[in-house]
Structure 1
């Protein structure tokens, strides 16, 4: 999907999902935030964001909403961008068409916020650099800087440290079992292990080079999430029956597996489940806007 510039004052833009190929929790800071290591990759499943410049200073959020418009992450992103620019007079209409399930660990809300920042940076002619937008994104959520970074990455810290990481082009099966889980609830769990050994990026790079399509590491959040929502285990089992090696992405509830180009037939699924066959993206469709 490529951006469609419909007018100088309007844009229709993609907000792609991500997968965590692994996710290790290696510690916890004094402020309670968890220290992670993960590999993020972008995939072709995407929400669609419509942005239109307003003649007044209002930020108006419409379309698919998961909370009140004032608390929505795209609304907050637009306001944060106005504040950073010192331009209180700026306004925009923001409409979101959701395709990425909420509470799935696919980064939909964070990606929407990142696309909003990238798009309004262009529409409002602010000329913030990628690094400057990533700093604004940090204030909105741990995954937002990754989507502004815009390429597969080895992610550390609380999500703010990102290094380029090469991943083979791949096709993935994604299953969402019709119900999301709360990221906060997963990270609060006393059953979550927080002492996985921290490893150098080169260890994971060699593992992928030698063993692909087998994935490195594991998802430390998966056992906790399966206990919170048993449907996750059912989704994992559905992919295992096809001879795949699935795991959960992020804090769940979506699960995924590397598959062949044709992809296996999943058969009948519960009516409220969602199945996506996606491809990896080398970079975010808007990556070139900040070169």
Structure 2
């Protein structure tokens, strides 16, 4: 039996602009995905039986509803692979927080099993499989921080300066569907060119709606303003603030109220998943 443990990194949206609503109900948007050196861990054990078994401590998620299971099954069906696997998921990324945990888990599953099952699909092919499961999965499959357009699936890799982040999460889960369906959501942001990216333009068009529906998010944002210009990632509930050094971020983390969870992470341009597989 072949076994391997692989990382599943979190992400931040350094901005999130909603351009318009499409006829299919999805939204055209522009965002900047920043990968982080912080995340979950997935352990894979493959076997020659077709069964897929996912083990995790997610009490509210049935194994068959887990994106890890759905990704493994989708790859199995797309390649007619007769092998199966057992996958153990060790979670650190908060759920319903806008950090891409589920999407990253699915991407690690696709990329990892593609190697272990010897499917030999390209990253583009894996991203296409993943996009049917979630719009954020392709950025994790390709493993590079990126400027994203469309529904978040049209990616242009970008090299970002190394920055440290303090990420703070209240003890709530935000429904992405609820936010994107909300009547007060701004849907008319003008499109920007990648060459025109500027931190002065960074904002999250979902933040005001989320803060109205989930006052805990506003509380976190207001608290973080003592350290800079905080911004919500994705549709929340996590809010982050930038720091020039790990020491500064760690010092600020020590003052985070006990009622919230937090972590400090460094922005990275390449996923640790891809680095590890390259070295196998």
Counterparts of 2:62 and 2:142 in 1: how far apart (Å)? Answer: 28
Q: Alignment partner of 1:265: what SS?
A: helix
Kindly state the Cα deviation for residue 199 of structure 1 after the two structures are TM-superposed.
Answer: 1.2
Question: 1:39 Cα shift?
Answer: 0.4
CA contact (8 A) 2:166 2:253 kept: no
1:245 aligns with 2:239: no
Count of aligned residue pairs for this structure pair? 274
Hey, what does 1:275 align to over in structure 2? 262
Write the distance in 1 (CA, Å) between the matches of 2:181 and 2:278. Answer: 36
* 2:176 aligned residue (172, 177, 183): 183
How many Å separate the matches in 2 of 1:268 and 1:219?
Answer: 25
Does residue 199 in structure 1 map to residue 192 in structure 2?
A: yes
Q: Report the Cα distance in structure 2 between the residues aligned to 1:266 and 1:281, rounded to whole angstroms.
A: 20
Structure 2 Cα separation of the partners of residues 56 and 275 of structure 1: 40
Over 3 Å counting, the alpha-carbon distance change for 1:62 and 1:260 in structure 2 is: same
Structure 1 unaligned blocks of 5 or more: 1-7, 208-213
Structure 2 residue aligned with 1:47: 40
In the alignment, which residue of structure 2 is the partner of 1:78? 72
- Aligned-pair Cα RMSD in Å: 1.6
- The SS at the match of 1:286 is helix
Q: 2:195 aligned with 1:220, yes or no?
A: no
Shift of 1:102: 0.2
Aligned-partner Cα distance in 1 for 2:256–2:153: 37
Partner of 2:15: 22
CA-to-aligned-CA distance 1:231-267 (integer Å, 9 cap, x gap): 101111121123x110100000000011121224345
- 1:143 CA displacement: 0.3
Higher helix proportion (structure 1 or 2): 2
Q: Which runs of 4+ in 1 moved over 6 A?
A: none
Q: Deviations over 1:46-90 (max 9, x none)?
A: 101011112311110112224100111000000000111012x22
Cα distance in 2, alignment partners of residues 29 and 180 from structure 1: 26
Q: How does 1:1-291 map to 2 (within 5 A)?
A: 9-65=2-58, 66-87=60-81, 89-204=82-197, 207=198, 214=199, 216-242=201-227, 244-261=228-245, 262-263=247-248, 264-288=251-275, 289=277
- Name the CA distance, whole Å, in 2 between partners of 1:73 and 1:247: 27
CA contact 1:36–1:157 (8 Å) conserved in 2: yes
Q: Secondary structure at the match of 1:30?
A: coil
Question: 1:140 Cα shift?
Answer: 0.8
Instruction: Indicate conservation of the 8 Å contact 2:37/2:272, yes or no.
Output: no
**How far, CA to CA, are the matches of 1:92 and 1:44 in structure 2?**
26
Unaligned runs of 5+ in 2: none
User: What whole-Å deviation, never above 9, does each CA across 1:182-208 have from its counterpart, x for those lacking one?
Assistant: 10111010000111001111111xx2x
Deviates more, 1:193-202 or 1:59-68: 59-68
Relative distance call for 1:143 and 1:215 in structure 2 (3 A) is: farther
Q: Specify the alignment match of 1:211 in structure 2.
A: none
Tell whether the 8 Å contact from 2:35 to 2:269 is kept in structure 1 after alignment: yes
- Is contact 1:73-1:110 (8 Å) kept? yes
